[in-house]
Amino acid sequence: MPHIEIVGITKVYEQPAAPPIVALDGVDLTVEHDQFVSLVGPSGCGKSTLLHLVGGFISPSTGEIRIDGRPVTGPGPDRGIVFQNFALFPWLTVRGNVEYGLAEKGIPRRERRKVAQHFIDMVKLTGFEEVYPHRLSGGMQQRVALARMLACDPQILLMDEPFGALDAQTRLILQEELKEIWRQARKTVLFVTHDVREAVFLSQRVVVMTARPGRIKEIVDTDLPADAPRLAVDALAEDIWATLREEVLKAVVPGDRREQAP
């Protein structure tokens, strides 16, 4: 049984005094256990909407999403999410942020301290346990957000452009570290990005979406060897970009009917 099943999903956003916006239209996708899948597509194609539907934060207009065969009816501890803007608690230290979800679960202080330290070490923030978020760089804040999610041990990681706000050098380093963390933790990952090279480097499969309303145009198996050179990543990324480019142009050309609300 697939870990995630997305069946016939359509999402329509109603607007007062304006036509509705069809964000997603007839999306079908399955994700296997422990698989890393990335979603790429033009801005506004519904990538983040699909991620939030899997997270249970919003409901589909039609269709169904199932986790291990059970319909998604809302958020749950089996799914963790990391956003682009870090979403850390500024009044808590690194340790406090990572321990937060564990404390909410009622885990005793000694145990949650041990668990939190394990993941702080995993994301290479050892020595920064008592530092507050405003004293950290953007890359370090994103490491805290990742450690906080991993500490709660969700089976599915939902990542919405988590490196989008970072500089290019930090982004490359965190891509490498996320890939290593995934190898260690073996979670199911659904990852949204605008960066095709990032998607190819991290993922086993890349889902290419159309301009709005979002549909799946193509699914590309990537799964390059762990030691694959960046040139191999770049070559495959160029092939995927050739598929995606047409959809990006549809999304940005003025007057294209896909840009107009239905």
Q: Cα 215 vs. chain centroid, distance in angstroms?
A: 18
* Of 23, 215, 216, the residue nearest 206 (C-alpha): 216
Whole-angstrom Cα Rg for the chain: 19
Give the CA diameter of the chain.
Answer: 60
Half-sphere exposure of 49 (CA within 13 A, CB side): 24
Report the predicted TM-score, pTM, of the whole model to 2 decimal places.
0.89
Could you tell me the sign of the dihedral formed by the alpha carbons of 121, 126, 175, 188, in that order?
positive
Percent of the chain with pLDDT over 90: 71
Which residue has tokens 């997270």?
55
One-letter amino acid at 72 equals V
What is the spatial distance between Cα 86 and Cα 140, in angstroms, rounded to a whole number? 10
pLDDT surpassing 60 at residue 254: no
Q: What is the pLDDT of residues 198-220, one digit of tens each?
A: 999 999 999 999 999 999 999 99
pLDDT score at 70: 96
Sequential DSSP letters for the chain = --SEEEEEEEEEEEETTEEEEEEEEEEEEEE-TT-EEEEE--TTSSHHHHHHHHHTSS--SEEEEEETTEEP-S--TTEEEE-TT----TTS-HHHHHHHHHHHTT--HHHHHHHHHHHHHHTT-TT-TT--GGGS-HHHHHHHHHHHHHHT--SEEEEESTTTTS-HHHHHHHHHHHHHHHHHH--EEEEE-S-HHHHHHH-SEEEEEPSSSB-EEEEEE----TT--HHHHHHHHHHHHHHHHHHHHHHHSTT-GGGS--
pLDDT score at 251: 76
Confidence of residue 253 (pLDDT cuts 50, 70, 90): low
Q: What is the pLDDT of residues 150-196, one digit of tens each?
A: 999 999 999 999 888 888 888 888 898 899 889 888 899 999 999 99
Write the Ramachandran bin of 132: left for phi over 0, alpha for psi from -120 to 50, otherwise beta: beta
Q: What is the pLDDT of residues 72-105, one digit of tens each?
A: 999 999 999 988 777 899 999 999 999 999 999 8
Interior CA angle at 166 toward 254 and 208, to 5°?
50
pLDDT score at 255: 47
pLDDT score at 164: 85
pLDDT surpassing 70 at residue 32: yes
Half-sphere exposure of 201 (CA within 13 A, CB side): 19
User: Average pLDDT of the chain?
Assistant: 90
